[in-house]
Structure 1
Amino acid sequence: MGCAASTPDVADATAVMGNHGPEKHRAKGMSNKGISLKSMESIRSAIESLLINEPELTKLMTSFSKEHLFMFAKDYQTQTGTDLLSLLREKLNGPLEKLILSSFKPDVTLRTELIRESLQGKATDIEQLTDVVLTLSESRACEIVQNYDLLYGGSVITDIRHDYNGDKLWQRLITRILSSKRVSRSSLAMQSTTLASDGDVDTHAVGAEANTGTLGKLLVADAERLVMDIRERNFEHLLLLMATALPAEYVSICKKYFEMKGTVLRQDIADALEHRPEERYALLLAHDYLHSPAAAYAFMAHTALVAGISRDDARLTRAAILSYEEHPDVPAVYRELYGVTLEDAIEKTGTGSYESTLLILWKIDRPKDPAAGPEAENGPAETAAHAGNKAKQSSKGNKKSDSKADKEGAATPVLQNDTVEERLPTPAASESSTPRGD
Structure 2
Amino acid sequence: MKKVAFYTLGCKLNFAESSSIARSLEPVGFVRAEFQDNPDLFVINTCSVTEQADKKCKKVVREAKKINPAAAVVIIGCYAQLKPEEIAAIPGVDLVLGANEKFQLPELILPYLDRTVQDLPKLIASEIRYDLDYHASYSVNDRTRTFLKVQDGCDYPCSYCTIPLARGQSRSDSIEKVLGLIEEIAANGVKEIVLTGVNIGDFGIQQGKRVETFFELVQAIEEKSSIERFRISSIEPNLLTPEMISFLATSKRFVPHFHIPLQSCSNAVLRLMKRRYQRELYQDRVALIRSVMPNACIGVDIIVGHPGETPELFLETYQFLNELEISYLHVFPYSERANTYAVDIKPKVDGMQKSERSKMLHILSDKKRHAFYESQLGNMGLVLFEESSENGQMEGFSENYVRVSVPYDPLLINTIQPVRYKSLTDSGEVKGEVMLVVSR
TM-score range, shorter chain: under 0.3
Structure 1 or 2: larger helix share?
Answer: 1
> What TM-score, normalized to structure 1?
0.25
- With a CA cutoff of 8 Å and minimum separation of 6, indicate the structure with the bigger relative contact order: 1
Structure 1 or 2: larger strand share?
Answer: 2
